[in-house]
Structure 1
């Protein structure tokens, strides 16, 4: 991928729309849409790194109610010709083909490598990577198992959605969320993951979400781990101008 001189690549993660209730979520949804309206002016591409929704599960003929504003905005941007790439997070890992069929937005379930303007990126949500968190890793294997998803679909959507929202917000082992406190450069487990990846291949940038903390950590020679933060407390995002990437904060009026 090559970026023209007047274009940029944008990255955002962890909007958690639906949390903690419809009223408060709608406020954040409108803020995020204003950001999308701003960046579409010079975006070469937009990467969404998961947990756009606090809970998402696709039945064969049913998707969660709501979120029409953000879905409509993503459709508008995509129809204008701007590519959007979506990486599922731990709260929306049950995505199937709705985004791909309705919005023409590819959905990825694992980190993916990109070369942009001769810079090598490894991009993903970040859940389940690095050392520790064994309980969540085991739970994720259960949740992503095709048999488990097939069985869950036998629940009536009214029951399945209600149960999913409850588990997403109440059970921290299932959600995989960590307290949003900086652990120190040596203890941040995604930074440790990046360093291990560098043992076999060089990456200029590792871009992840999940931690809900905007951070930039040097993990090797000319290699940086960037966490995008969230849209609950920080309203932060990443922007790559073709040469360097920078974390920025969306300013609300």
Structure 2
């Protein structure tokens, strides 16, 4: 359980699915600059920042190497942490090979599973959202392979120029990874994250469920005082969620 004491005038901020590096480093620089500007704008009023996965379109940590690029966002996150802002990072399906770089270099804890958060009397369940709920069996099988220690060890033997290029290609071309066929609202009965949240709500009450992964901003009343919010993405929608101590809602960056 993550417990946050929210100071007067402060809010929690949630964002996901920037996919920096996609479709190329050069083409993602504009989105990176916009996100850094947003981080600067929210800093004075942020009590904590939650990054809900897929900040990068691909991330793999070799023993002494990390992917090239992203210096603007990494530098800004480091600055915010140095200024005392709590930041929490949730691994997504594109950056699931995250190691200890964020924790050691930036002081940002990294989570691989959904976490419970308590703040201002409200209870949250927060994560990226991949592989949760019913269905999505193809991706679930593939994730087991990708996260297998032996498979990770084999990949690490590839030269980074080869490994990163191969992974970036697959990230775009493989629909199980990219989710390219899954960007439209499917209806509550077919939205597997909605089904997951309803099942969790039946076991324990949460006021808010916050996830990314779907690339589709949505707010759904689950009944019983619970709300599911998907934070959308920073590719098409530039949306994020804000909890001001009383309510949590989606916002769009101007």
- Structure 1 and Structure 2 fold alike (TM over 0.5): yes
* Aligned positions of 1:94-173 closer than 5 A: 94-173=97-176
SS at match of 1:160: helix
Alignment of 1:99-248 (within 5 A): 99-176=102-179, 178-248=181-251
Report the Cα offset of residue 176 of structure 1: 4.7
Shift of 1:22: 2.2
Q: 1:174 to 1:143 in 2, by over 3 A?
A: same
Which residue is equivalent to 1:8? 11
Matched pairs, number: 251
Q: Identify if the C-alpha distance between structure 1 residues 189 and 32 changes in structure 2 by more than 3 Å, giving closer, same or farther.
A: same
1:58 is aligned to 2:61: yes
* Runs (5+) with no aligned partner, structure 2: none
Structure 1 residue 178: Cα displacement: 4.4
Cα RMSD, aligned residues only: 1.0
User: TM-score, length-normalised on structure 2?
Assistant: 0.97
Cα distance in 1 for residues equivalent to 2:213 and 2:160: 27
Mapping of residues 6-85 of structure 1, within 5 Å: 6-85=9-88
CA distance in 1, matches of 2:46, 2:198: 30
CA deviations 1:26-60 (Å, max 9, x no partner) are 00000000000001011110000000000000000
Q: Is residue 89–residue 110 contact of structure 2 (8 Å, CA) maintained in 1? A: yes
Q: How far apart are residue 177 of structure 1 and its match?
A: 5.1
- For structure 1, which runs of at least 5 residues remain unmatched after alignment? none
